Structure 1
Amino acid sequence: MIVPETEFSRRVAVDSIPARGTDITVTANPEECEALARRFGLQAIGALTAELRLKALAGGTLFRVKGRLTAEVVQTCVVTLDPLPATVEEEFDLTFGAGSDDADAGGELDLSFEDDDPPEALVDGAIDVGEAVAEQLALALDPFPRREGAMVAAEPADPALAPDKRPNPFAALAGLRKKMG
């Protein structure tokens, strides 16, 4: 299988994970931070680090990645478009395992809201913990960052678009209705 290259790749072979588990720390270098910032539409990522615990489950068929990421990011305020620095701290708990044959064969999967998330697929017997951290960072970002106190203007910037100045699109219909009776 061809493994796609990601901006922040840290592959861990599952056969290297001891039965008692292992702790690792992953840190993005400046080039990786810059590439991830482009990917997520951020002005910058100053730092990205994650403390992870990897452990085999279910006799070595499933693997748990539990951790906490910390990132210093600069988003864009949706109101003022000014840079908006933020610290992102997020805990996560993921499960990885062999991919489902049903999903690969185009078969139907029976999922319900009560079920746990299905395990993420292993790729060539490895977990890309860097990509997992990047995905968790993306999920933790504020989708509509707003500087404290930033308000949307109550009046439109263009006076021609003020509600009382705009022509009513139904004015012609009102005139037609009067003619008809």
Structure 2
Amino acid sequence: MTTELSFPIKTSAIDSEKDGYDVKHDATEEERGALATRFGLVGLPAFRFTANVKPTRSENGFRLRGRIIADVIQTCVATLDPVTAHIDQPFEILLFDETDDRAAPIDIEEDYETFSDDLIELGEIAAIELALSLDPYPRVPGAKGDKTGPGADTGESPGGRGADQERENPTHRPFEGLAALRRNR
């Protein structure tokens, strides 16, 4: 599997660490550019993650506790201007070997991922956590209108009446015409 942010660790290295296996990674400019392209960002000036991986008590998996820290630039959904945001997000995931018969129980309520070939791809997990932390509808503070779609920048709703007109006449009844047709039958 190829990923924009590759940071694999061997599970055998985790087993030998009493307090778990600590990881810290600052993404390179190339990695940040690839992640920005993948997630449709204008830019990703900074991205790093820290993590600690420990064997679980049941010894058939690992617990990953980490944090992602990023500065992202997205496009405002209303004005199409750049929107900057700072992300500082902790996360916790259980990891199970996909070839292990004792892998993740069906009734597990925690987030979990699988790994294979004695390798856990921490970079991809961090990238997924970044994607989950992004604002799906970023807006510039004070954005008024939407430059796309029906009625854009005209104050007019898709139905044809302006929003200002609807506020001026709060007794507007959209089905009044239908009621008149029914009376004329």
Q: 1:41 and 2:40 equivalent?
A: yes
| Shift, 1:74, TM fit | 0.3
In structure 2, relative to structure 1, the CA distance for the partners of 1:178 and 1:60 (3 Å cut) is: closer
**Aligned match of 2:141:** 148
Alpha-carbon contact 2:7-2:123 (below 8 Å) kept: yes
SS of equivalent to 2:44: strand
**Aligned match of 1:16:** 13
Q: Percent identity?
A: 35
- TM-score, structure 2 normalization: 0.75
| CA distance in 2 between partners of 1:57 and 1:22 (Å) | 13
| CA distance in 2 between partners of 1:8 and 1:33 (Å) | 8
**Aligned match of 2:130:** 137
SS of equivalent to 2:41: coil
| CA distance in 2 between partners of 1:102 and 1:16 (Å) | 21
| Shift, 1:22, TM fit | 2.0
SS of equivalent to 1:58: coil
| CA distance in 2 between partners of 1:156 and 1:44 (Å) | 27
Residue by residue over 1:107-158, the C-alpha shift from the partner in whole angstroms, topping out at 9 and shown as x without a partner, is: xx854xxx422631112111100001000011111111111111237x7535
**Aligned match of 1:157:** 153
In structure 2, relative to structure 1, the CA distance for the partners of 1:59 and 1:172 (3 Å cut) is: closer
Alpha-carbon contact 1:64-1:95 (below 8 Å) kept: yes
| Shift, 1:25, TM fit | 0.4
| CA distance in 2 between partners of 1:156 and 1:48 (Å) | 35
**Aligned match of 1:120:** 113
Alpha-carbon contact 2:93-2:111 (below 8 Å) kept: no
Question: Number of residues paired by the alignment?
Answer: 167
In structure 2, relative to structure 1, the CA distance for the partners of 1:156 and 1:147 (3 Å cut) is: closer
**Aligned match of 2:168:** none
In structure 2, relative to structure 1, the CA distance for the partners of 1:60 and 1:174 (3 Å cut) is: closer
Aligned AA (1:121) = T
| Bigger shift: residues 16-25 or 38-47 | 16-25
The alignment's C-alpha RMSD in Å is 3.1
Q: 1:84 and 2:83 equivalent?
A: yes
**Aligned match of 2:71:** 72
**Aligned match of 1:167:** none
Gaps of 5+ in 1: 104-108, 165-169
